[in-house]
């Protein structure tokens, strides 16, 4: 269906085609499936850093339990589509203005990343005459080994070292304008193995329960973050949600005495599969023994492949019309590297990909482009035109 839509859109346009396409029906179906299988004690929040497009947020408002924001700007985007939906607020560098704004917008839980931030949150809450509900963000001693990107278990700017949490708990108990409701354990990004992810949740339970017992805490929430990923290398082998839920049920049964509500902050796994990036082939050339396909677009629109130094999966949409009176560049049974239009050798979206047939004027359709694509890209570099954005139902 997407291929036919792209071909139809191309017929209406003279200029080289370049667009993001979001399948909102696919998004709703996917997230409804997640929500329908999620255990009763769990809550699914969408981390809008993955894609804060307002049309996607509006589609998700009636489905998810809430949103996770990492800036005041993101909070404002959320409140622009819904005034009451629960918001979790995190991020390693919060300003006084952001913390105060988050309180004014009524965030449900504020994730505290350091002792200094803890005191700042208490100070601002005191000025407002409120008690702010918080989670302490923990930088665990160990993370998930399969994850492509780690926020914990290695030196990073995120959270407080596991060994320093007891002193933070002690400080919380001396402060009058914050209330500790639990811990935040977001530790990784793009883990595609359900078994290790369930083991991670189990470990988070054990750690939180140990602190609860030692410090006589009254806790309500265990935030295990997001980190459920997309397999960009082998798209036929994706995170097995059903297997993960079965394993999660066993973990929850093991720790049912805790009474915690378990919070998930998924971003990539929620929106990635509903988005596509389509870019027309401008030229095909050979340099130093390699074949390059140059597209109308690149990492200034879709930065994820270059940022993660990976080849992004795509399919070829053939476009038969050729308007020029000279020969059309064409290759067959060739290995190609897909390059963008930027003046840098780093503008690469895929490397050493075999194709059976490709011509200038055909369109490459990149799959799983609904997360960390347009939202993280350096749009203004070289001042090229922005892609179009389409939303289909």
pLDDT score recorded for residue 1: 86
pLDDT in tens, 252-266: 999 999 999 999 999
pLDDT in tens, 28-87: 999 999 999 999 999 999 999 999 999 999 999 999 999 999 999 999 999 999 999 999
pLDDT above 70 for 153? no
pLDDT score recorded for residue 188: 72
pLDDT score recorded for residue 159: 81
Nearest of 112, 52, 109 to residue 76 by alpha carbon: 52
pLDDT above 70 for 144? no
Nearest of 199, 214, 205, 210 to residue 259 by alpha carbon: 205
Q: What is the mean pLDDT of the chain?
A: 94
Q: What is the DSSP letter of 184?
A: E
pLDDT score recorded for residue 176: 97
pLDDT confidence tier of residue 174, bands split at 50, 70 and 90 = very high
Residue 233 to residue 310: CA distance in whole angstroms: 8
pLDDT score recorded for residue 276: 98
pLDDT above 80 for 375? yes
Catalytic residue among 42, 204, 343, 357: 343
Tokens in use for 64? 């998810």
Which residue segments constitute the domains of the chain, with CATH numbers given?
2-21+273-392 (2.40.37.10), 86-266 (3.20.20.10)
pLDDT in tens, 219-255: 999 999 999 999 999 999 999 999 999 999 999 999 9
pLDDT above 70 for 389? yes
pLDDT confidence tier of residue 141, bands split at 50, 70 and 90 = confident
pLDDT score recorded for residue 145: 61
pLDDT in tens, 331-368: 999 999 999 999 999 999 999 999 999 999 999 999 99
| Long-range contacts at 123-132 (CB < 8 A, ≥ 24 apart) | 123/177, 124/96, 124/99, 124/100, 125/177, 125/178, 126/176, 126/177, 128/100, 128/103, 130/103, 130/177, 131/176, 131/177, 131/178, 131/179, 132/103, 132/177, 132/178, 132/179
Tell me the mean pLDDT in the region 150-164: 76
- The beta strands (E) that lie in 48-177 are given as 66-69, 87-89, 109-112, 132-139, 149-150, 160-161
Tell me the mean pLDDT in the region 107-130: 97
pLDDT above 60 for 151? no
pLDDT score recorded for residue 142: 78
pLDDT above 80 for 14? yes
pLDDT score recorded for residue 152: 58
Q: For this structure, is 343 an active site residue? A: yes
pLDDT confidence tier of residue 146, bands split at 50, 70 and 90 = low
């Amino acid at each position: 269906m997407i291929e036919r839509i792209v071909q139809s859109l191309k017929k209406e346009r003279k200029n080289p085609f370049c667009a993001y396409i979001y399948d909102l029906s696919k998004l709703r179906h996917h997230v409804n499936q997640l929500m329908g299988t999620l255990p009763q004690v769990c809550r699914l929040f969408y981390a809008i850093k993955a894609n804060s497009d307002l049309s996607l947020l509006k589609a998700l408002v009636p489905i998810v339990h809430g949103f996770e924001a990492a800036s005041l700007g993101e909070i404002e985007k959320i409140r622009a589509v819904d005034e009451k939906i629960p918001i979790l607020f995190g991020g390693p560098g919060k300003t006084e203005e952001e913390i105060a704004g988050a309180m004014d917008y009524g965030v449900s839980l504020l994730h505290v990343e350091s002792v200094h931030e803890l005191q700042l949150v208490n100070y601002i809450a005191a000025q407002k005459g409120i008690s702010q509900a918080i989670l302490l963000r923990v930088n665990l001693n160990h993370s998930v080994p399969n994850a492509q990107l780690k926020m914990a278990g290695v030196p990073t700017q995120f959270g407080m070292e596991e060994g320093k949490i007891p002193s933070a708990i002690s400080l919380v108990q001396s402060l009058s304008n914050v209330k500790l409701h639990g811990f935040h354990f977001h530790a990784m990004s793009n883990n595609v193995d359900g078994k290790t992810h369930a083991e991670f949740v189990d470990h988070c339970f054990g750690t939180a329960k140990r602190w609860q017992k030692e410090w006589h805490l009254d806790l309500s929430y265990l935030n295990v973050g997001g980190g459920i990923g997309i397999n960009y290398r082998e798209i036929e082998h994706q995170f097995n949600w059903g297997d993960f839920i079965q394993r999660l049920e066993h973990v929850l049964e093991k720790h049912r005495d805790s009474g915690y509500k378990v919070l998930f902050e998924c971003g990539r796994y929620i929106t990635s599969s509903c988005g596509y990036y389509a870019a027309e082939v401008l030229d095909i050339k050979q340099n130093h023994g390699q074949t390059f396909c140059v597209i109308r677009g690149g990492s200034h629109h879709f930065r994820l492949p270059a940022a993660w130094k990976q080849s992004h999966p795509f399919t070829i949409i053939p476009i038969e019309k050729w308007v020029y009176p000279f020969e059309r560049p064409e290759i067959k049974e060739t290995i190609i590297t897909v390059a963008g239009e930027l003046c840098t050798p780093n503008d690469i979206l895929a490397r050493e990909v075999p194709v059976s047939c490709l011509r200038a004027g055909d369109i490459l359709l990149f799959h799983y482009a609904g997360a960390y694509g347009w939202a993280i890209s350096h749009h203004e570099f070289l001042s090229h035109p922005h892609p179009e954005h389409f939303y289909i139902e």
